[in-house]
Amino acid sequence: MSDDHERKIEELTHNLVRAYELIRRVCRRLPLPILLPGGPVYEADTTMPAVARAAVIIQDLPMDEGIRSDLFAACLSWLSASKVVMWLISHEDDPTAAAEAMILMIAANDAAIEAGAALLEGGGLDE
Protein backbone atom coordinates (compact mmCIF):
# COMPACT_ATOMS: atom_id res chain seq x y z
CA MET A 1 0.00 0.00 0.00
CA SER A 2 1.44 3.39 -0.96
CA ASP A 3 1.98 6.14 1.58
CA ASP A 4 -0.59 8.31 -0.19
CA HIS A 5 -3.18 5.52 -0.04
CA GLU A 6 -2.44 4.90 3.64
CA ARG A 7 -2.92 8.62 4.41
CA LYS A 8 -6.18 8.64 2.48
CA ILE A 9 -7.47 5.61 4.42
CA GLU A 10 -6.37 7.16 7.71
CA GLU A 11 -8.19 10.42 6.92
CA LEU A 12 -11.34 8.61 5.83
CA THR A 13 -11.28 6.42 8.93
CA HIS A 14 -10.88 9.48 11.15
CA ASN A 15 -13.88 11.10 9.45
CA LEU A 16 -15.91 7.90 9.84
CA VAL A 17 -15.23 7.89 13.58
CA ARG A 18 -16.28 11.55 13.86
CA ALA A 19 -19.50 10.90 11.95
CA TYR A 20 -20.19 7.80 14.05
CA GLU A 21 -19.71 9.81 17.25
CA LEU A 22 -22.21 12.40 16.03
CA ILE A 23 -24.79 9.71 15.25
CA ARG A 24 -24.07 8.06 18.61
CA ARG A 25 -24.66 11.32 20.49
CA VAL A 26 -27.92 12.03 18.65
CA CYS A 27 -29.19 8.47 19.27
CA ARG A 28 -28.39 8.83 22.95
CA ARG A 29 -30.56 11.98 23.14
CA LEU A 30 -33.68 10.47 21.59
CA PRO A 31 -36.75 10.46 23.84
CA LEU A 32 -36.23 6.68 24.01
CA PRO A 33 -32.41 6.53 23.81
CA ILE A 34 -30.51 4.15 21.56
CA LEU A 35 -27.10 3.44 23.07
CA LEU A 36 -24.41 2.75 20.48
CA PRO A 37 -21.03 1.45 21.66
CA GLY A 38 -18.38 4.05 22.40
CA GLY A 39 -14.72 3.59 22.64
CA PRO A 40 -11.43 4.91 22.60
CA VAL A 41 -11.16 2.32 19.80
CA TYR A 42 -13.81 1.73 17.17
CA GLU A 43 -13.98 -1.52 15.25
CA ALA A 44 -16.07 -2.01 12.12
CA ASP A 45 -17.20 -5.39 13.49
CA THR A 46 -18.90 -3.52 16.34
CA THR A 47 -19.92 -0.16 14.93
CA MET A 48 -21.42 -1.29 11.62
CA PRO A 49 -23.89 -3.80 13.12
CA ALA A 50 -24.75 -1.30 15.87
CA VAL A 51 -25.61 1.44 13.37
CA ALA A 52 -27.53 -1.02 11.19
CA ARG A 53 -29.56 -2.10 14.23
CA ALA A 54 -30.17 1.54 15.21
CA ALA A 55 -31.52 2.22 11.71
CA VAL A 56 -34.04 -0.60 12.19
CA ILE A 57 -34.99 0.47 15.72
CA ILE A 58 -35.45 4.10 14.64
CA GLN A 59 -38.22 3.00 12.28
CA ASP A 60 -40.27 1.67 15.21
CA LEU A 61 -39.72 4.39 17.81
CA PRO A 62 -42.48 6.91 18.46
CA MET A 63 -40.86 10.16 17.33
CA ASP A 64 -41.23 13.14 15.08
CA GLU A 65 -41.18 11.97 11.46
CA GLY A 66 -38.57 14.56 10.42
CA ILE A 67 -36.17 13.42 13.12
CA ARG A 68 -36.82 9.79 12.22
CA SER A 69 -36.08 10.31 8.53
CA ASP A 70 -32.98 12.44 9.20
CA LEU A 71 -31.52 9.95 11.65
CA PHE A 72 -32.37 7.00 9.40
CA ALA A 73 -30.63 8.78 6.50
CA ALA A 74 -27.61 9.49 8.73
CA CYS A 75 -27.32 5.82 9.67
CA LEU A 76 -27.65 4.55 6.11
CA SER A 77 -25.24 7.14 4.71
CA TRP A 78 -22.69 6.27 7.40
CA LEU A 79 -23.07 2.55 6.72
CA SER A 80 -22.59 3.13 2.99
CA ALA A 81 -19.51 5.28 3.63
CA SER A 82 -18.07 2.54 5.86
CA LYS A 83 -18.57 -0.06 3.15
CA VAL A 84 -16.90 2.16 0.55
CA VAL A 85 -13.90 2.73 2.84
CA MET A 86 -13.60 -1.01 3.44
CA TRP A 87 -13.68 -1.55 -0.33
CA LEU A 88 -11.04 1.12 -0.87
CA ILE A 89 -8.63 -0.50 1.58
CA SER A 90 -8.14 -3.42 -0.79
CA HIS A 91 -8.80 -1.56 -4.07
CA GLU A 92 -6.19 1.18 -4.07
CA ASP A 93 -6.67 1.84 -7.77
CA ASP A 94 -10.36 2.82 -7.47
CA PRO A 95 -10.42 6.40 -8.78
CA THR A 96 -13.70 7.50 -7.16
CA ALA A 97 -14.12 5.53 -3.92
CA ALA A 98 -12.51 8.12 -1.62
CA ALA A 99 -14.72 10.89 -3.00
CA GLU A 100 -17.79 8.63 -2.73
CA ALA A 101 -16.99 7.92 0.92
CA MET A 102 -16.52 11.61 1.71
CA ILE A 103 -19.83 12.55 0.05
CA LEU A 104 -21.62 9.84 2.03
CA MET A 105 -20.00 11.01 5.28
CA ILE A 106 -21.05 14.60 4.57
CA ALA A 107 -24.59 13.36 4.02
CA ALA A 108 -24.46 11.38 7.27
CA ASN A 109 -23.17 14.38 9.21
CA ASP A 110 -25.72 16.76 7.71
CA ALA A 111 -28.63 14.43 8.46
CA ALA A 112 -27.42 13.77 12.02
CA ILE A 113 -26.98 17.50 12.63
CA GLU A 114 -30.54 18.14 11.41
CA ALA A 115 -31.91 15.43 13.71
CA GLY A 116 -29.88 16.72 16.65
CA ALA A 117 -30.98 20.31 16.07
CA ALA A 118 -34.63 19.25 15.94
CA LEU A 119 -34.20 17.34 19.20
CA LEU A 120 -32.66 20.42 20.84
CA GLU A 121 -35.57 22.54 19.63
CA GLY A 122 -37.91 20.30 21.57
CA GLY A 123 -38.85 17.81 18.90
CA GLY A 124 -38.89 14.17 19.64
CA LEU A 125 -41.94 12.17 20.51
CA ASP A 126 -44.94 12.20 18.21
CA GLU A 127 -47.53 14.58 19.53
Instruction: Pick 1 or 34 by higher pLDDT.
Output: 34
Amino acid, single-letter form, for residue 52: A
- pLDDT over 70, % of the chain: 95
Tens digits of residue pLDDT in 89-120: 999 999 999 999 999 999 999 999 999 999 99
Residue ranges of domains in the chain? 3-120
CA distance 56 to 59: 6
Decide: 47 and 21 in contact? Cβ < 8 Å. no
User: Would you mind telling me the total number of residues written for the chain in this entry?
Assistant: 127
Tens digits of residue pLDDT in 40-85: 778 999 999 999 999 999 999 999 999 999 999 999 999 999 999 9
Question: For the chain, where are the E strands, in sequence order?
Answer: none
Closest CA to 110 of 77, 80, 79, 84: 77
Span 4-20, average pLDDT: 95
Specify the pLDDT at position 124: 64
